[in-house]
Amino acid sequence: MNRYKVTKTLGDGTYGSVLRAQNKQTGEVVAIKRMKQKMYSWEECMKLREIQSLRTLIHPNIVKLKEVIRENDELHMVFEMMEANLYEFMKSRVRPIPESKVRNVMFQTMQGLHHVHKNGYFHRDMKPENVLISGDTVKIADFGLARQIRARPPFTDYVSTRWYRAPEVLLRSSTYNSPIDMWACGGIMAELYTLRPLFPGSSESDELYKICSVLGTPPQQTWPDGFKLASQINYRFPQFVPTKLEMLIPQSNADGVNIMLAMMHWDPSKRPSTAQVLKHPYFEVAMMESQQSQGVQSTPAPTALPAAAPETHTSRAAKPPQPSASVAQAGQAPPASLFGTRGSWKGDVSHPSTGKVDKEAGGSKGFNLPPLRGAQQDARNTSAAKKSPGARYLKMARYQPGMQQIPVPGRKDLPGLPAVQPHIGASLPPVRKDSALPETGGKQSFFGAHAARMLG
């Protein structure tokens, strides 16, 4: 560490801190991740998943681990410095991001992720904070949760940030794999267009509720494994007809909507691979530009994603919600199936018109999924849960999102968001606002939000 001059502390977390430093000899600015856990041997250091994966994954779209230093039983990881992470980039935007920029960001992200999957790993924590950006260069970071694809299940640790967590993980699957990264990328892509998260659930069941409100309730024949998982934890899917994604994300063209729906397929086995996504017509322009910059003249013909079955959510999403004839009559309440019903537990009695569980009034059960043995990431009781939506969203870099955005009327103990309605689009102003990072108390940094999440 004598070769580096520390100039600033960018973030401090449960497991360590991140420092901005400068190489005294070369003048290069780097980010140093200092772990709080004592490391008494190099063998112990080399067993860390982040170090193991980054030593293998060398790619222009993956953050570079420059050096590992063990000094006084403290471990320091030296990374290249990037200007900002994708969350900070979106937070600073006043106007929508041009589609060409969205395409470029996602193309580079998918290239990096393709290298990860091709080399036998999957990330398990894809989200805007873990995608770094400098100028036109995009790199994936934070491989602290990365696992090998060939690793034997069950995977008992509850991974990924809730807003980007795949349905099979929300339903406690222990055999999930690389498709969970594809789901997260679909949510990131949607957020790049709208500058707001697509599924900002305040709990696990609320996350599933918001997913259903957009994609519609999955048919049992489309995803039988999902219904088995739901049955094992006594969860019932809320009833929704799908909302057209074109209405929620009008800034995207048809190819963009198609690729987002494909990546966010309910059934993980039907989500496209990174190779298939990169060959999609949506990325044809980005592929040509990338090959021209590398001196390659021939361009492979783009390959469309696998056609969805007639009953998949992709084809169902093309149909707008159809109210029944009884809804059109004045003075009558709409049926529960039109607005959707809350997912509930086996044995609960739901109100026939609203779908709300009667036990909810007592406050004894709520909508929380059964607790998972082991990690208690979502049980953290943070002061940010009592703050404004913007302040809670800024905390996303450090804690699992569990914010209290819009309380349910009359229910102080049950935070949540209303169901996504078809008219929501680009006309709404962004919910985020600039402010200092909560862990530093100073000016907004470029690496701190990402780094703080890496460290806990």
Q: Which residue positions form the known binding site?
A: 33
Decide if 125 is catalytic: yes
CA distance 108 to 105: 5
CA distance 65 to 54: 6
Binding residues for ATP are 33
- Cα-to-chain-centroid distance, residue 348: 31
CB neighbour list of residue 429: distance below 8 Å, 6 or more residues apart: none
CB neighbour list of residue 83: distance below 8 Å, 6 or more residues apart: 132, 133, 134, 135, 446
Q: Which alpha helices (DSSP H) does 121-172 contain, by range?
A: 167-170
Structure tokens at 347: 């044995």
Peptide bond into 310 cis (omega under 30): no
CA distance 102 to 405: 27
Residues in the chain: 456
Which residue in this structure is represented by tokens 């290249």? 80
CA distance 324 to 335: 8
- Cα-to-chain-centroid distance, residue 93: 19
CA distance 439 to 416: 25
Which residue in this structure is represented by tokens 């006084």? 72
- Residue from 12, 73, 125, 225 carrying the catalytic annotation: 125
Greatest alpha-carbon pair distance for the chain in Å reads 78
CB neighbour list of residue 153: distance below 8 Å, 6 or more residues apart: 174, 175
Q: Which of 37, 64, 165, 178 is nearest to 113 (CA)?
A: 178
- Catalytic residue IDs: 125
